[in-house]
Amino acid sequence: MCNKSYVESNCKVIEFYQKTENICLVRLESKQISELVKPGQFVNVQVSDDKIPTPILRRPFAVSDVYGDIFEIIFEVKGRGTAILKNKMIPGSYFNISGPLGNTFFDMNSDRKKILLAGGLGIAPIKLLGKHLISLGKDVSLFWGNRDKSQFFDLQEFESMDLKLFVSTDNGSLGFKGNILDLLKNTQDSEDLKNADIYVVGPTVMMKAVSSYLHDKGVECQVSLEEPMACGIGVCQGCAVEKSDGTGFLLVCKDGPVFYSSKIKI
């Protein structure tokens, strides 16, 4: 029932960076996880310990990069669990982490152009995907949208990558003025979209809008969902998403987190 190609490891915090007011980037050491992880997969981080018995549930985070034996996660501080992680993730400390979990992005080896759309912190799984596609010699375009310029980080790193980078802000403080769908419409015509593999990660409302727009053009895309998870391996059934044909449900942690948008109800 559950994916056994994962490990549970006590991972050492190597580096911690506060990227924006609420976004943190952490690099942790685990040879096993780093060797196994593929673009799209996530890890489940244990927050509680002997000193802090709650919250009990682990927190899932997409792996955003890999450097040898070190893997990277990016998270936003928006609740008690992530606030605890921010304060506890000091270089030299250890966290019990299970992973890599879930499936991977599809069609990565095809010869088609790759269009990557990241809304906000959706940049985390998109970052690892983009680097992998570049290593395969693919033609990659990355679209990254935020509400304003203060939410961007590490732009120089993305600008130095062998891809075409497009950025947008709702208020026009950086790049194109408008949301990421407006930016996509402004730069890609129907033929561009029909001849590409399209990957979309971000807030649900953004993924729904983009996938609906593409569907109307007869274009498929892939989305990566983020849902609260208890176990992360398909046992608890707590992260169900309804199939688009209404015949049942799929589990985000086991069947996903990556899905073709036509297969589920976002």
The full 3-state SS of the chain, as one line of letters, equals CCCCCCEEEEEEEEEEEECCCCEEEEEEECHHHHHHCCCCCEEEECCCCCCCCCCCCCEEEEEEEEECCEEEEEEECCCHHHHHHHHHCCCCCEEEEEEEECCCCCCCCCCCEEEEEEEHHHHHHHHHHHHHHHHCCCCEEEEEEECCHHHCCCHHHHHHCCCEEEEEECCCCCCEECCHHHHHHHHCCHHHHHCEEEEEECCHHHHHHHHHHHHHCCCCCEEECCCCCCCCCCCCCCCEEEECCCCCEEECCCCCCEEEHHHECC
Buried b (16+ CB within 10 A) or exposed e, 58-92: bbbbbbbbbeeebbbbbbbbeeebbebbbeebeee
Would you say 99 and 4 are in contact if contact means Cβ atoms under 8 Å apart? no
Which pLDDT belongs to residue 1? Answer: 35
Distance of CA 221 to the CA centre of its chain: 15
- Per-residue pLDDT at 3: 43
Which of 136, 167, 140, 172 has the alpha carbon at shortest distance from 154?
Answer: 167
pLDDT beneath 70, residues of the chain: 1-4, 50, 52-54, 230
| Dmax (CA) of the chain | 57
What's the whole-model pTM score? Answer: 0.94
Residue 222: CA count within 13 A, CB half-sphere: 24
Q: State residue 2's pLDDT score.
A: 42
Residue 91: cis peptide before it, omega within 30 degrees of 0: no
| Contact of 17 with 86, CB cutoff 8 Å | no
